[in-house]
Structure 1
Amino acid sequence: MVNLPAPMEKRIPTVSADNFLRQLLLEQQQLTAVGEFSSWHEQQTMDHAAHYRALLPTSSPKSGEQLAFEVDLDACSGCKACVTACHNLNGLEEAETWRHVGMLLGISDASRPQQYVTTACHHCVEPGCLQGCPVQAYDKDPLTGIVRHLDDQCIGCQYCILMCPYEVPQYSAAKGIVRKCDMCRQRLEAGDAPACVAGCPNQAIRITIVSQQTARQRAQTSTFLAASPDPSLTIPTTIYRSAKLQNVADIQGELAGIVAANDTLPHIAHPHFPLVAMLVLTQMSVGTLLLERIFFAAGAIDARASLALLIVSAATGLVGGNAAALHLGKPFGAWRAWMGLRTSWLSREIVTLGPYGGLLGLAALLALLSFTTLASCLSSLALCVGIVGVISSAMIYVATGRDYWNASRTFPRFLGSTLGLGLGVATVVILASRNQPTLVALLALASLMVASVQAFSLNESRRRRQQYPSRSLERTALLLRNALSDAFQMQMSAIVCGGFLGPMILLLIATSSQESAMQQTPVFPIAVVSAVTLLLGNLLERMLYFQACTPAKMPGDDR
């Protein structure tokens, strides 16, 4: 016999008004799921915070000490939970990451283990980003040693990315500024662990206190991490520990037979087109002005040719200087560039090349108005300022410490562009004003010599890459032979045609025994084509100067 349920009216209990109110009051006194979890956490029933706090120092850094990351490489499984935690808790953009995970591989001994490496900002003792920033948008906390970025001060010049050997700062095109890891400073102040520390399931990352003097000693002995940049550049403070990888502290990873997994996969760097235009055009302007001053002082040119050279120099200088503003994320803040004058070569370049165009433009205007003496004085002053600006431009890249941008490669290229392009412009102007075979021959001969220096510099750098190979230069050579081979061939062809072939033809014509050779031969079109071709070659050379630079990075950083 089946027992049927009672009718609905019989199953509903009779509830009085007092019982109903009492029941509602009891329900209001009960905690929600979130409230119960918070209560358990406060009562240490489920005390996960204790595990996180165990990964933090128990005291504050003393004088000469600072906070630093300590990574147990043996505990790192490469799961990238630290990357995800950092990305989510810091609200980063979709393609923005402040922490990376890579791998070290043993290539000389099969018994060497594979080792995952997690890396972020090293909060260096002498941070390159801080020293290179032209607007002082970085600050190193005197108490904790944390290097933090001041978003409201940044103008988005991206020079800090070049100055950092580890390329830690990342540019946000949407915001027009760079951003970087600050060790979750706010969480540390509240007694909580940084996102990466709390997110690691194996407790491979912790915050510790290090002595800055000890960090300097470690950097001098190159004891940091295999297959990573030279620590003496910025004195990183991150401590990597591993029992499996005996040579993990050997910076000469090649000698230890340890390389990064992505070591043979070079990426084409950003071309920085505004910087390419700025560098080439400003150097062309300074070279043209230099020759104008020399010819004017020697009485080799008349007032018409001098004025033409001044106008061309002022025009290229102003266009080049303004092109640099296109590289800034916040160009209206460029007026603050003087703030980093004491430490930043970029500040020195801006402070010199900025007034340079104005002085030269004013000199050209005064020359047009026949104020010859005053125009000559301003032109000489502009030349001095421009030369300092070109030197500062070269030092911007030499100061980064990158192998491909060292002084022996950078100065010959920048000097070659300055003199070579100036000679090309001067030849065109001289031929347009009047035919002077002797002066044209001297200009053509000088162009051949400068082009020879440029070609020798390129060949010398390639020969040294073969004779004294390093990881970064090997990757550069690999790019020039493969992905950038077409641009490299176009560059060499343009330099040969504009720097050798054109001047050689002009030299032969100018030194011809026939007096009418200059009038019967289209020397002016030849000079124009030669100058334009040489300009194209220098633009390509400067583009490859940026694209082919593949500095040593931390393992796993594929940017």
Structure 2
Amino acid sequence: MPSTLQRLPAIPASKKAAPHASAEVRTLIDDLIAEQKTLQTPIARYSDYHDTEPDLAPHYRTLIPLSKPGDGEQYAFEVSLDRCTGCKACVSACHSLNGLDDEEAWRDVGMIHGGRKTPGWQQTITTACHHCEDPGCMNGCPVGAYEKDSDTGIVRHLDDQCIGCSYCILKCPFDVPKYSKKRGIVRKCDMCHQRLAEGEAPACVQSCPTEAIRIVKVKTGTSAVAPDFLPGAPDPTITLPTTRYVGRDVPESAVAADRESLVPEHAHWPLVLMLMLTQAGVGMLTGGLGNVVTTILANVLFFAGMGASILHLGQPLKAWRFFLGLRTSWLSREILAFSMFAPIPMVLAALPFVPDFPYKDLITRVTTLSALPIGLIAVFTSVMIYHDTHRTSWRFRLTAGRFFGTVATFASLGNLLAHPSPLATLLFAIGVIAKLIPEVRIVHLALDRNAEWSSDLHTARIQWGPLRLIYDSRVLLAIAAIAFSLLNPWIALPLLLAAELFERQLFFQSVHAPKMPGSFGPKRAH
């Protein structure tokens, strides 16, 4: 059987001997190599097209609407999945045109795969801001640093208004807003609205070599979100994202490629200290009412926490405008509630040292009676801040148990310090153990190897894995606090503070933060 690589018919000897005779001897390999030279990648074809067509403005206008949205419409991204190659040209163009910092990106490229039912299926996903119909970032902002354009539907961030609290990052289920350390504020994609206003395509649209991204007009209201938004992405009913993913059917079993990655989230140390110390202060004050020492200690704890909260703001001098978000933002309500509570511990600490004067007893009685309800209201607003992010691990029952549990344990410790007795010691031990039980139950999930993936399982595996040392320290310190309370409750105080500090660190670092699909590698904490 002749070989497919057989040479062409031999040249006669007479012709072969001729010194100036020329004949081309080609093989199949030569033909294949020549054909390969005519094949181009999408990037190469894109480059050639730009070289041959110097003015491509008319072409790019085919990728954006020719008219502004009408009534009941807004602009939205449309992504053709069958065209996306994951080249990240859109990421690079967005970064370059918007002058982003080195570690800043407003558009990301991730991946989803078919899950257990269709393990061989996978798809790259390019994502940016979804310009939601009901934006979580805008609703959560305490200072009104977001606006949704009434004509185009584009959700814009107002940099000059931002205080850098990063609450919008927690509120957005798609991880869209990004914190800029250089500027101390949050920034995000604005769909290159200035280019659109002039009839030019956004950077990501114009740079995609396969034209996988375009701008379209979509209906608003109940039809703003596609019923099958994108399997493997966060729940679209939270904010009603408007991005359309078309061109390829995605299996219902599809999941984010980085779903199983066990990388701790940002610790948010100022928030760790703020939450733990303010709740400890509220508890110590209400548990040790009437005792000068515990009241002063409560002041130290509470105001240390309030001071730590300022460190979380990139632009703290602008925080006075918190009242702008009172209608929608739990963060604004928390600031108001703690501002109302702040004078109470100061007054209660100062009154014993103030000479008698008219209405002193009345003021003492009013501040004493108001300490507990206003303190609990303030802690409740803290609970709602995190519950309102729709992160499963921060759901109301678990978060309220942690936060009010801290208040209760320090209230029982304050009572023990002010009025030592076997009953007070028993109440303290019960409070600490009661707070530990839900935490241990969650982590117990990590021992079940057959458990289906869930946010709680993710939290359990992170605490049992990368954060195991912190988890063990939290439990051991809590038990040690109980043990030492039998000997000297003042020794139990620093042990309990350390235990609660680790508990609050676990609260932030082990949470499952919803986001758009990432790569197979570990995701980077913001």
TM range (shorter): 0.7 to 0.9
Unaligned stretches of 5+ in structure 1? 1-40, 251-255, 294-304, 432-439, 507-522
Q: Secondary structure at the match of 1:152?
A: helix
**Which among 322, 329, 338 is matched to residue 323 of structure 2?**
338
CA distance in 2, matches of 1:412, 1:110: 39
CA distance in 2, matches of 1:215, 1:76: 25
Q: Secondary structure at the match of 1:96?
A: coil
Partner of 1:287: 283
Q: Figure out how many residues of one structure are paired with residues of the other and give that number.
A: 465
Which letter does structure 2 place at the counterpart of 1:204?
A: A
Q: Percent identity?
A: 42
Partner of 1:175: 183
Partner of 2:214: 206
Partner of 1:554: 516
**Which among 432, 443, 451 is matched to residue 462 of structure 1?**
443
- Structure 1 residues 443 and 390, CA, compared in 2 at 3 Å: closer, same or farther? same
Checking the alignment, whether the CA contact within 8 Å between 1:127 and 1:234 is kept in structure 2 is yes
Checking the alignment, whether the CA contact within 8 Å between 1:472 and 1:552 is kept in structure 2 is no
Partner of 1:473: 456
- Structure 1 residues 324 and 45, CA, compared in 2 at 3 Å: closer, same or farther? closer
Partner of 1:145: 153
Partner of 1:95: 103
Give how far 1:359 is off: 3.1
CA distance in 2, matches of 1:214, 1:362: 51
Q: Secondary structure at the match of 2:159?
A: coil
- Structure 1 residues 471 and 551, CA, compared in 2 at 3 Å: closer, same or farther? farther
CA distance in 1, matches of 2:451, 2:203: 42
CA distance in 2, matches of 1:372, 1:261: 64
Give how far 1:443 is off: 1.6
Which letter does structure 2 place at the counterpart of 1:551?
A: A
Partner of 2:7: none
CA distance in 2, matches of 1:45, 1:235: 39
- Structure 1 residues 246 and 46, CA, compared in 2 at 3 Å: closer, same or farther? same
CA distance in 2, matches of 1:68, 1:547: 33
CA distance in 2, matches of 1:145, 1:191: 17
Partner of 2:229: 224
Answering whether residue 378 of structure 2 is matched by residue 389 of structure 1, we say: yes
- Structure 1 residues 112 and 529, CA, compared in 2 at 3 Å: closer, same or farther? same
Which letter does structure 2 place at the counterpart of 1:443?
A: A
Give how far 1:471 is off: 4.1
Give how far 1:531 is off: 2.1
CA distance in 1, matches of 2:492, 2:146: 46
Partner of 2:261: 265
- Structure 1 residues 543 and 168, CA, compared in 2 at 3 Å: closer, same or farther? same
Partner of 2:419: 430
- Structure 1 residues 211 and 69, CA, compared in 2 at 3 Å: closer, same or farther? same
Q: Secondary structure at the match of 1:533?
A: helix
Checking the alignment, whether the CA contact within 8 Å between 1:367 and 1:375 is kept in structure 2 is no
Q: Secondary structure at the match of 1:108?
A: coil
Which letter does structure 1 place at the counterpart of 2:376?
A: I
Answering whether residue 485 of structure 2 is matched by residue 496 of structure 1, we say: no
Checking the alignment, whether the CA contact within 8 Å between 2:287 and 2:410 is kept in structure 1 is no
Partner of 2:20: none
**Alpha-carbon displacement from aligned partner over 1:324-382 (angstroms, at most 9, x marks no partner):** 00110011111111111111111111111123223321332123215444233223334
Checking the alignment, whether the CA contact within 8 Å between 1:321 and 1:357 is kept in structure 2 is no
Give how far 1:285 is off: 1.3
Give how far 1:113 is off: 3.1
Q: Counterparts of 1:236-275 in structure 2 under 5 Å?
A: 236-243=241-248, 245-247=249-251, 250=252, 256=253, 258-275=254-271
CA distance in 2, matches of 1:427, 1:276: 25
CA distance in 1, matches of 2:501, 2:237: 33
Partner of 1:105: 113
- Structure 1 residues 336 and 56, CA, compared in 2 at 3 Å: closer, same or farther? same
CA distance in 1, matches of 2:400, 2:352: 32
Answering whether residue 155 of structure 2 is matched by residue 163 of structure 1, we say: no
Partner of 1:69: 77
Answering whether residue 496 of structure 2 is matched by residue 534 of structure 1, we say: yes
CA distance in 2, matches of 1:138, 1:364: 41
Checking the alignment, whether the CA contact within 8 Å between 1:98 and 1:168 is kept in structure 2 is yes
**Which among 350, 358, 364 is matched to residue 335 of structure 2?**
350
Give how far 1:492 is off: 0.8
Which letter does structure 2 place at the counterpart of 1:474?
A: L
Which letter does structure 1 place at the counterpart of 2:93?
A: A
- Structure 1 residues 350 and 198, CA, compared in 2 at 3 Å: closer, same or farther? same
Unaligned stretches of 5+ in structure 2? 1-49
Checking the alignment, whether the CA contact within 8 Å between 2:112 and 2:255 is kept in structure 1 is yes
Checking the alignment, whether the CA contact within 8 Å between 1:471 and 1:552 is kept in structure 2 is no
Which letter does structure 2 place at the counterpart of 1:269?
A: E
Q: Give the alignment's TM-score, normalised by structure 2.
A: 0.84
Checking the alignment, whether the CA contact within 8 Å between 1:57 and 1:209 is kept in structure 2 is yes
- Structure 1 residues 109 and 276, CA, compared in 2 at 3 Å: closer, same or farther? closer
Which letter does structure 1 place at the counterpart of 2:286?
A: L
Checking the alignment, whether the CA contact within 8 Å between 1:266 and 1:550 is kept in structure 2 is no
CA distance in 2, matches of 1:110, 1:372: 73
**Alpha-carbon displacement from aligned partner over 1:369-401 (angstroms, at most 9, x marks no partner):** 154442332233343322111000111101100
Q: Secondary structure at the match of 2:513?
A: coil
Which letter does structure 2 place at the counterpart of 1:124?
A: C
Q: Give the alignment's TM-score, normalised by structure 1.
A: 0.79
Answering whether residue 296 of structure 2 is matched by residue 311 of structure 1, we say: yes
- Structure 1 residues 45 and 401, CA, compared in 2 at 3 Å: closer, same or farther? closer
**Alpha-carbon displacement from aligned partner over 1:39-71 (angstroms, at most 9, x marks no partner):** xx9xx9744112211011122212221110000
Q: Secondary structure at the match of 2:433?
A: helix
Q: Secondary structure at the match of 1:104?
A: strand
Q: Secondary structure at the match of 1:228?
A: coil
CA distance in 2, matches of 1:385, 1:493: 32
Which letter does structure 1 place at the counterpart of 2:410?
A: L
Q: RMSD between aligned alpha carbons?
A: 2.1
Give how far 1:548 is off: 0.7
Structure (1 or 2) with the greater helix fraction = 1
CA distance in 2, matches of 1:340, 1:368: 39
CA distance in 2, matches of 1:246, 1:54: 26
- Structure 1 residues 540 and 178, CA, compared in 2 at 3 Å: closer, same or farther? same
CA distance in 1, matches of 2:511, 2:266: 9
CA distance in 1, matches of 2:442, 2:460: 10
CA distance in 2, matches of 1:59, 1:472: 43
